[in-house]
Amino acid sequence: MGFFKKIDKVFTSAEKFNLMERNEVDIQIEENIKQAGINKFAASDYGDLYLRVNELGGFLILETIMVSATDLKSKKGTIISFIKGNEILKLESDENKIESDFSSAVNKSITKIDYNITTKEAENFKEDKYDSVRFEINGNKILFAVLKS
C-alpha cells in the first residue's frame, strides 16, 4: 500500500470520530488533569491525548487519558503507536474492555486506557522523541500531533 493510500485510510477512518469543538470547558478539563500530574502530550481535531508513566504494583504502565467528542467502546482493546520517521513504538492496551465516561454537562468523553511498558520504553517519554501518535480502536484510527515542550 502506497504512502498516500495509507494517509487517506487514516483520514477516512477518522470520519467515524466526532470533531471536537474546543471552548473554555476544555481549559478547565486540562487543568483538572494537570492537577493529577498528567500532562497533555498530543492533540488532533478529534481530541486531546494526555499521558504519564507510572509504577503500579512494581510494573510500569503508560497511563493515557483521551478527551474527545466521541464516546468510545471496545471489547477488543486499543493500540497506540508513537511515531518518529520510520521508528514506531506500538503498545496494546492493558485491558480489552474500553469504555468512555461521557459528561453531557460538558459534552465530552473521557477515556482512560493503560498500557504496560518496559523500563526501556519508559525512557522514550522523558524527552521530546515522537512527532505523532496513532490511536486505534475497533479498526478506526486517529492521528495526533505531539506537542513539543
Task: Please write the tens of the pLDDT for every residue from 29-85.
Answer: 888 888 888 999 999 999 999 999 999 888 999 999 999 988 899 999 999 999 999
What single-letter amino acid sits at 145? A
Cell of 113: 486506557
> Model confidence at 28, in pLDDT bands (50, 70, 90)?
confident
The full set of domains in the chain, from first to last, is 3-146 (2.60.40)
Average confidence (pLDDT) over 20-25: 70
> Model confidence at 20, in pLDDT bands (50, 70, 90)?
low
Is it the case that residue 26 has pLDDT exceeding 80? no
Which pLDDT does position 117 carry in this prediction?
97
How far is residue 112's CA from residue 101's CA, in Å, rounded to a whole number? 9
Whether the CB-CB separation of 111 and 78 falls below 8 Å is answered with no
Between the two ends of the chain, the Cα-to-Cα distance in Å is 34
For the stretch 83-127, pLDDT in tens is 999 999 999 999 999 999 988 777 889 999 999 999 999 999 988
Cell of 129: 522523541
How far is residue 93's CA from residue 62's CA, in Å, rounded to a whole number? 9
Which pLDDT does position 10 carry in this prediction?
42
| Nearest to 139, CA basis, from 95, 75, 64 | 75
Is it the case that residue 14 has pLDDT exceeding 70? no
pTM for the whole structure: 0.83
| Nearest to 64, CA basis, from 105, 92, 85 | 92
How far is residue 118's CA from residue 8's CA, in Å, rounded to a whole number? 33
